[in-house]
Amino acid sequence: MLAATPAPAAEPDADPHQLEVAGFPVVGYNSDHGLALGLLGTLTRLHPDYDPHRWRLDGLAVVSVREDDAGDIEASRQKYDLELDLPQFPTRALRLRLRPYFVLLKVANYYGLGNDSPDWDGQPEDVHQFEHLDAGLEAELRWAMTDALSLFGRARGAYDAVQVYPGSALARDRADPAGPDVRGVAAHDLAVLRLGALWDTRDDENDPTTGSFHELSARVGGSVVDDFAYTGAHVQGRWYLPVWGEHLTLATRAVADLLGGHPPIYQLIWLGGDFNLRGVPEGRFAGKVRLLGTAELRARFGQFRVLGPLPMRAGVVAFVDTGRVFADYADDPALDGEGLGLKVGTGGGLRLRWGTSFVARGDVAWSPDGDGLGVYIGVEHVF
């Protein structure tokens, strides 16, 4: 990702009410979706009485292009996203987030269910792909019970449509009466409600060096026009251990995800991609249960200024991701294999913090379950 010169902003130490403005042309590469081109911007109003800011607005418009099997250039992903973050709104104990979004993914992966799903070597790419359109509005309200403990509710309403490619693994499983329970293929509405609790003692939610962040939540989702309804549970723990002050941090994460009922195909729990198993193709493994662990060693260097008055800080990371999925709750060696079955991805990357609220990320990863190197360029830490 390359950064454009941000709009003029006040010296950070001079005005505690300053407006931080950062704008980036997105020129990156993701091994799952190809070359990404677009615009990314963030506006952050700081205030001494508000933590971490008075308000923040993030906007993203990105189109990813790649070469398909036939040698043609296709728009593999389109993503348009706005997020408004309002801490202490409408009262000091509440925090509101609003996010309208639109995503069209032509290369969503489905290799089959389970931890031992086939890799489809030598087959055309669309054998393990489908197209997914997802457009909606998400709203989250947090209630701060104490400095560390918050309760939250998150509601999402969306329109979703799935296109099944002829001859694909998804078409095969959909047509098999004895195969997996494939739901959510026709165009439909989707409503999801999630309730949970958060424990957050991080010193900085954008670039933490100490503290912890934990989540326990449950969700329910369904459709009025399509025949599916499901439940889910999520347990996550994150820990940030300062090894050498603010210069070196060991960040670790452990996650468990569970699904029940009849979820649509795109709501299965996936393993693979830049946020949960780097080095493995996005969505490579899928099921109703996912276990995931990550360790990152993050080094930070001194501050400097290059593009405008906002301070920058560069860093490097080394990481290991590991995890596995289960197709369902019954033991099924044909889908999940036998033994521990952990998938592993490892690699390193660069970080660039700009101002107080923006972190750019670039990672390269390898996995024995991948297809060459995975390359990921985005924003924010993975966790």
Q: How many angstroms separate the CA atoms of 83 and 116, rounded?
A: 37
Q: Where are the beta strands (DSSP E) in 263-326?
A: 269-271, 285-287, 289-304, 312-326
Mean pLDDT to the nearest integer, 75-97:
94
Instruction: Let me know: does 356 contact 371? Beta carbons within 8 Å.
Output: no
Question: Is pLDDT above 90 for 306?
Answer: no
| Model pLDDT, residue 241 | 98
Band (6; pLDDT cuts 50, 70, 90): very low
Q: Which of 326, 179, 187, 335 is nearest to 266 (CA)?
A: 187
What is the reported pTM? 0.87
Question: Is pLDDT above 80 for 255?
Answer: yes
Give the number of other Cβ atoms within 10 Å of residue 342's Cβ: 12
How much is the CA Rg of the chain, to the nearest whole Å?
21
Q: How many angstroms separate the CA atoms of 208 and 229, rounded?
A: 37
Mean pLDDT to the nearest integer, 246-253:
96
Mean pLDDT to the nearest integer, 284-291:
97
Of 236 and 16, the structure prediction assigns the larger pLDDT to 236
Mean pLDDT to the nearest integer, 152-178:
95
| Model pLDDT, residue 49 | 85
Mean pLDDT to the nearest integer, 245-274:
96
Cα 93–95–96 angle (5° rounding)?
Answer: 145
- DSSP conformational letter for 114: B
Q: What is the mean pLDDT of the chain?
A: 92
pLDDT, one tens digit per residue, over 65-77 is 999 888 899 999 9
For residue 373, give the amino acid letter: L
Instruction: Let me know: does 130 contact 166? Beta carbons within 8 Å.
Output: no
Question: Is pLDDT above 80 for 102?
Answer: yes
Instruction: Let me know: does 69 contact 31? Beta carbons within 8 Å.
Output: no
* Percent of the chain residues past pLDDT 90, beyond the cut: 77
Q: How many CA atoms lie within 13 A of 231 on its CB side?
A: 6
Instruction: Let me know: does 310 contact 9? Beta carbons within 8 Å.
Output: yes
Instruction: Let me know: does 152 contact 185? Beta carbons within 8 Å.
Output: no
What domains, with CATH codes, occur in the chain? 19-379 (2.40.160.50)
Q: How many angstroms separate the CA atoms of 33 and 39, rounded?
A: 17
The DSSP bridge partners found for residue 86 are 96
Band (214; pLDDT cuts 50, 70, 90): very high
Band (14; pLDDT cuts 50, 70, 90): very low
